[in-house]
Structure 1
């Protein structure tokens, strides 16, 4: 992509060549972030939450929010079990499913739509949450906190790409180049609460954002995190267990 995007040079090298697109043949990093634990400090002491495994505690009966996202939920279970998060081993997938079945009494609902509202209104006490959502929710309700779990966060990257059959590929590349301008990338990051992979944009962010560990976590946290990759045919087994889990089976 860098031959068609002058501003591609601003992207951190550490945010390139990730497992889902080695060499960035198909994608340009747009925003990145992590999934961790959200908690309402008025109901639960954040200092008492250290790990994903803590969500299995009986005190969270019917109090947790999980995203309506199969990969993220199984990713968490794999971490708790100490298994490879992108495992395609049938035994590992089954073990994660059985572990999640143990969690179900604590789950109030699965939702990925405006999860911050559920925390702010007190409908849930804790659960999985994206760091940007937690950051913005904390602006409105300071009791909403973000915990980086000991087993490691779930890392992800939102990317820009051009469809193979795009009607106007040149214009698409022009848009991508515009979004990579440091001043534009800075504005986007400030507005949505997620980290920009644009090094020049980070340099001009307000210090209170650039130095906020919820948005820009320290290196030791990132070292514990992992990205998801394509699972091939194993996705069928994941999907089967996911449907059974949500059906209460």
Structure 2
């Protein structure tokens, strides 16, 4: 869920060092840090928020398989850790965001899924399947959908105030806007405003987007991807870029908040479930994926963290205040205009370079 600012700007070596330091901070040797595979234990590497207390108890009760969970803090760190493991393996199920699925699949880091072992597929939203990042869902299945939009305090603004991403550039929002602290998310605003692809690798287009963002800089109060809903809940911020799941969190706290998706559409991401190529327990990994995507578990997770689930059966039991809220569950019209965020290869370093320069500019 937390799409942290790209760490590739400093190169894979730096990310790998970060991964190693995390293990050292836990006073573990490399050997101790590596999960030890057993037939009755599955090692799940996923976002912390995606495993609320008690979520896995029934799986263990039903199957006798224990689940050891490692907290995933960024796609970049996950990628680096799997690279360090090499063929030795360690994790059985991972939760990469879609644009890392395509990258990892190209590099041979993901195992092909056996759809015969995943009957839950028939319960998944067909509109979420067979996307460009993983044609035929050969390597991954979607779990939760992220859709950033323009969030606003209903005490201060009306929804029709915001029809385009370009509205954020208006002088009336000077020093008022919170943006997500993520290079790609921020550049998406300018690229869409300019009519360019959010997945461009053209240096000139990326530079043009940076120059457009410099014009927006006086309006930016803060960059925040660490619980970005909190600033809306506290009233510190009244307008900004926000993920749909964060809107649900704020509404649960009775914050006066709503969100719209501009006419250019959102740039979607989806957190998936996949099996590393070096996983030692692929059979039980399939069982865990099947469980995590099931209607019962999907319902619990969406209730907890707000993001739309891929399981259509869960929609039948989820409260309408979630499923019929267009700020959380984008409408068909919005989804038709949306684009999917994808891997941009080495161009991510250029995005990150300009992003750090943007953040360094003082208002």
Bin for the TM-score computed over the shorter chain: over 0.9
Q: 1:51-66 residue pairs with structure 2 within 5 A?
A: 51-66=164-179
Are residue 95 (structure 1) and residue 191 (structure 2) matched?
Answer: no
Provide Cα deviations, 1:166-189, integer angstroms capped at 9, x if missing partner. 243333222111112212212212
Take 2:179 and 2:232, find their aligned partners in 1: how far apart are those partners?
Answer: 12
Contact 2:152 2:257 in 1 (8 A): yes
Using the size of structure 2 for normalisation, the TM-score is 0.65
Provide Cα deviations, 1:154-212, integer angstroms capped at 9, x if missing partner. 21111111222224333322211111221221221222111111122223323333222
Provide Cα deviations, 1:40-72, integer angstroms capped at 9, x if missing partner. 122333332222111111111111111111111
Secondary structure, in 3 states, of the residue corresponding to 1:3? helix
Secondary structure, in 3 states, of the residue corresponding to 2:226? coil
Q: 1:12-23 residue pairs with structure 2 within 5 A?
A: 12-23=125-136
Are residue 37 (structure 1) and residue 176 (structure 2) matched?
Answer: no
Q: 1:1-249 residue pairs with structure 2 within 5 A?
A: 1=113, 2-248=115-361
Structure 1 residue 142, shift from structure 2 partner:
4.1
Take 2:144 and 2:233, find their aligned partners in 1: how far apart are those partners?
Answer: 24
Secondary structure, in 3 states, of the residue corresponding to 1:195? coil
Secondary structure, in 3 states, of the residue corresponding to 2:252? helix
**More deviation, 85-94/205-214:** 205-214
Q: 1:4 to 1:168 in 2, by over 3 A?
A: same
Secondary structure, in 3 states, of the residue corresponding to 2:132? coil
Higher relative contact order (CA 8 A, sep 6+): 1
**More deviation, 17-26/90-99:** 17-26
Structure 2: segments with no counterpart, 5+ residues: 1-112
RMSD: 1.6
Take 2:121 and 2:131, find their aligned partners in 1: how far apart are those partners?
Answer: 16
Secondary structure, in 3 states, of the residue corresponding to 2:272? strand
Take 1:142 and 1:90, find their aligned partners in 2: how far apart are those partners?
Answer: 40
Structure 1: segments with no counterpart, 5+ residues: none
Take 2:125 and 2:162, find their aligned partners in 1: how far apart are those partners?
Answer: 32
**More deviation, 177-186/63-72:** 177-186
